[in-house]
Amino acid sequence: MEHSKEVLLEIYRTMTRIRAFEEKGAELARTGKMHGTLHLYSGEEAIAAGVCSCLRETDRITSTHRGHGHCIAKGADVKRMMAEIFGKSTGYSKGKGGSMHIADISKGIIGANGIVGAGMPIAVGVAFAQKYQNEDNVTVAFFGDGATNRGTFHESVNLAAILNLPVVFVCENNHYGMSTAFAYHSKNKTVSQRAQAYDIPGVRVDGNDPVAVREAASEAIIRARAGEGPTLVECVTWRHHGHFLGDAGLYKSPEDEKYWRGHDPIPVFEKKLLEEGIAGQAEIEAVQAETNAEITEAVRFAEESSYPESSVIFEDLYEEIPADFFMR
């Protein structure tokens, strides 16, 4: 598979944008400038960036509690994302959703989700609607290794398989669900082998290599678009932070941590771009400076935005506020 310079640089830009967003979030939350529970995506950027590099704007994704990276890679506006996490009225959900509920329907982002494993059935439904309406769009469901033990994973893969739906199941195997290791919570050595149980293709790739991710995702997406049904793509990776900001991650072994920090997807990809002559040092630095500036601007936007009026509480609940909401 050929990858143009533009595509590779765009993937790199997405990865640095995600990293800058996450690390700025960590800094703001640590210093108390931002509230809420943050599940950071740092270390896993190659997956969202690689997969979404194969998607059209009209394709859809569902995401997880660790969803900032997916949203950014699928084209969400970092200003509105940051404002949402700040709880401001200019956020994607008017400040009602926060970090775990970011979505941009216009960009095909059906939403992050606070319930582990909840995105997969929704993705199946979105893919069903795409097929039903004769679109040639596909849906990607992102989820973690821990989520593969929910019934929703098994039910979703099976239904998508029997109905031949245009879904790609992308598992981000970062070795842990909270503090519980994959090696403990799964008897299977890999997630991808679970595909066999449902007679669909399953592949396993280095989730810290955006090109490997892109190649696997591209094949799965082409299959899905051609009406050949779902694929399970397992991307093996590592989260740099704890489960959420504030979890020190003491359960991770120092050797693993050291190994994976040495395979940080961003510097590794940078090196590849330089060594293969795809980009020069100046280009790399320019991208970094630009994405950092975008995030600085996003924070400024969020800080300057106003908090929502309490009237938004009753907005979006029903088409019309029912009469019985008001006391006599």
Partner 1 sequence: MAVMNLRQAIQNAMDIEMGRDPRVFIIGEDVGRNGCSFGQYNGLPDKYGDRRVVNAPISESVITGMGVGAAAAGLRPVVHHDFIDFLGCCFDEILNQAAKLRWMLGGQMLMPLTIDVFAGGGSASASQHSQSLEALFTHIPGIKVVTTSSPADAKGLLASAIRDDDPVMIIHNKGLLGMTGEVPEGEYLIPIGKANVVREGSDVTLVSYSRMVHECLGAADDLAKEGVSAEVIDLRSLVPLDKEAIFASLEKTGRLVIVHEAVGKSGFGAEVAAVVAEEALDLLDAPIRRVTALFSPVPYSAALESAYFPDKSKVISAVKSLGLVKQ
Ligand X SMILES: Cc1ncc(C[n+]2csc(CCOP(=O)(O)OP(=O)(O)O)c2C)c(N)n1
Please give the torsion angle defined by the CA atoms of residues 191, 197, 203 and 207, in that order, rounded to the nearest 10 degrees: -20
Among 105, 162, 178, 293, which residue interacts with ligand X (rule: CB under 6 A)?
178
DSSP string for 15-45: HHHHHHHHHHHHHHHHTTSS-S-----TT-H
Residue closer to ligand X (CB basis): 202 or 229: 202
Whether residue 15 contacts residue 45, with contact meaning beta carbons closer than 8 Å, is answered with: yes
Verify binding: residue 308, partner 1, rule CB under 8 A.
yes
Residue 257: other Cβ atoms inside 10 A: 13
Q: What is the largest CA-CA distance in the chain?
A: 73
Whether residue 21 contacts residue 71, with contact meaning beta carbons closer than 8 Å, is answered with: no
Verify binding: residue 310, partner 1, rule CB under 8 A.
yes
Residue closer to partner 1 (CB basis): 35 or 300: 35
Distance between CA atoms of residues 57 and 92, nearest Å: 18
Site string for partner 1, 232-251 (x = CB under 8 A): ------------------xx
Among 177, 210, 230, 265, which residue interacts with ligand X (rule: CB under 6 A)?
177
Binds 93: which of Mg ion, partner 1, ligand X, none (CB < 5-8 Å by kind): partner 1
Provide, rounded to whole angstroms, the least separation between the CB of residue 26 and partner 1: 16
Distance between CA atoms of residues 239 and 220, nearest Å: 24
Distance between CA atoms of residues 76 and 145, nearest Å: 25
Distance between CA atoms of residues 22 and 41, nearest Å: 7
Q: What are phi and psi of 41, to 5 degrees?
A: -100, 0
Residues in contact with Mg ion, total (CB under 5 A)? 5
Verify binding: residue 146, ligand X, rule CB under 6 A.
yes
Instruction: Using the rule CB under 6 A, give the single segment among 47-55, 132-140, 176-184, 307-315 that binds ligand X.
Output: 176-184
Q: Are strands 176-177 and 180-181 parallel, antiparallel or unpaired?
A: antiparallel
Verify binding: residue 18, ligand X, rule CB under 6 A.
no
Distance between CA atoms of residues 196 and 219, nearest Å: 18
Partners of 206 in beta bridges: 236
Pick out residues in 151-210 that bind Mg ion (CB under 5 A): 174, 177
Provide, rounded to whole angstroms, the least separation between the CB of residue 29 and partner 1: 11
Verify binding: residue 238, ligand X, rule CB under 6 A.
no
Which residue is at the shortest CB distance from ligand X?
Answer: 144
Provide, rounded to whole angstroms, the least separation between the CB of residue 280 and partner 1: 43
Residues of the shown chain interacting with partner 1 in the complex, contacts defined by CB under 8 A: 35-37, 87-88, 93, 95-101, 113-117, 146-147, 149-151, 177-180, 184-186, 250-251, 307-308, 310, 312-314, 317, 325
The contact set with ligand X (CB under 6 A) reads: 65-66, 114-117, 144-147, 172, 174, 176-178, 243
Chain contacts with Mg ion (rule: CB under 5 A): 144-146, 174, 177
